[in-house]
A = this chain, B = another copy of it.
Amino acid sequence: MHRTLSVASSPVRDLLALTSRPEVISFAGGLPAPELFDQDGLRAAYDLALRDRSVLQYAPTEGNPVLRSLVSHRLTGRGLPTSDVLVTTGSQQALSLVATALLEPGAVVAVEEPTYLAALQCFQMAGARIVPVASDADGLDPDSLRSVIAAERPALLYLVPTFANPTGRTLSASRRAEVAELAASHDFWVVEDDPYGELRYRGSAVAPLASISDRTIYLGSFSKIGAPGMRLGWLRAPADLLRTFGIVKQAADLHTSTVDQAAAAAYLTHNDLDAHVTRLCVAYGERRDAMIAALPSTVPDGTTWTDPDGGMFVWLRLPGDVDSAELLKDALSHDVAFVPGAPFFATTPDHATFRMSFTTNTPAEIFDGMSRLAKVLR
């Protein structure tokens, strides 16, 4: 028998199955609030798109030209001058294209630790060796990055600089400048994964890394500001690299759904996405505040947590020698759930950590869920 790739499923996704009982209040999944989807607007956009039968046909790999133009215009308006993007089947596909195009087996990928675990899986599947870079309240630590560069010569640095998954932290502007300078002088690519950047609830926007570094591949997504079920993301990169990613995408799925792309283009043309994002930010900001306010009476003394300005997640660390995966079993018996932190570490996991998402539940549900959780943790 020839060998089959040895792969493990995502623990978070396996866990989602356990938390889907309707009586569970789940802080586990990184899911947008379904009641906030603009269902009517999107339904009308699909109906409009499907008046043109060409949306049912094969289409160019690089994506719907109207959608690419609208997305480029939107990025430009947000401070990232953009002439073109490649439409991807969600940001996850963009990560997979990056791994396929840029990583040879044995290549070194530096990642902020902890980080988005489906990115880790993608790089591991490409045969890359993952090297962690330390981070603190201001995001990835440039001194740690310098050490990793000197010791490992990474081909790629992957990070979620704004409202990171799982920590909610944002890389400061001065550190972005340092990362940009290191990428230029040490000749590696930076993957700036930015699904959450528009979900800011306080403070001012920090300019994207891609706006100050031409060594940056920028990934955006419709999943958190529109609807993840449509599987629409986009990749911005220097022109020659964009073309390479397009060729790799051709082998991956020929092109992203013509229907979903045309519906998104119609939606962006006939609706005010900025106004919708503002509504999301108001609702999610309240949910963030509700969770943060409940934390002191939920967790034991000595617990630390992040205090995110946006995004979807709070990251916590319990005191003492505890394993949050064990505590999750207790939590599930109390009909509440979170994600244990260990899988977000590329190398040595910190078992006392866990991630809580505040976007999926209303403030009342958060209050209720935190009371349940207090019985487990305190």
Residue ranges of A at the interface with B (Cβ–Cβ < 8 Å): 1-5, 7-10, 13, 29, 31-32, 34-35, 37, 39, 42-43, 46-47, 50-51, 53-61, 89-90, 92-93, 95-96, 100-102, 104-105, 107, 118, 121-122, 125, 155-156, 187-189, 223, 227-231, 241, 244, 246-248, 250-260, 263
Inter-chain CA distance A255–B93, complex, in Å, is 10
Q: Is the CB of A93 within 8 A of B57?
A: no
Tell me which residues across on chain B come within 8 A of A95, comparing CB atoms.
Answer: 251
Q: Is the CB of A89 within 8 A of B89?
A: yes
Tell me which residues across on chain B come within 8 A of A51, comparing CB atoms.
Answer: 43
Q: Is the CB of B42 within 8 A of A56?
A: yes
Q: Is the CB of B250 within 8 A of A9?
A: yes
Q: Is the CB of A56 within 8 A of B227?
A: yes
Q: List 6 tightest A-B contacts by C-beta distance, closest first.
A: A229-B258, A56-B227, A43-B50, A2-B155, A89-B253, A56-B229
> Known: A46-B46, A50-B42, A260-B260. Is A251-B56 also a contact (CB below 8 A)?
no
Tell me which residues across on chain B come within 8 A of A89, comparing CB atoms.
Answer: 89, 231, 253, 256-257
Q: Is the CB of A53 within 8 A of B31?
A: no
Tell me which residues across on chain B come within 8 A of A253, comparing CB atoms.
Answer: 89-90, 92-93, 96, 231, 253
> Known: A102-B4, A257-B260. Is A13-B121 also a contact (CB below 8 A)?
no
A185 CB, min distance to chain B CBs, angstroms: 13
| New A-B pairs, 8, CB < 8 Å, besides A2-B188, A4-B241, A253-B253 | A46-B50, A47-B47, A56-B228, A89-B89, A92-B251, A93-B252, A96-B252, A259-B263
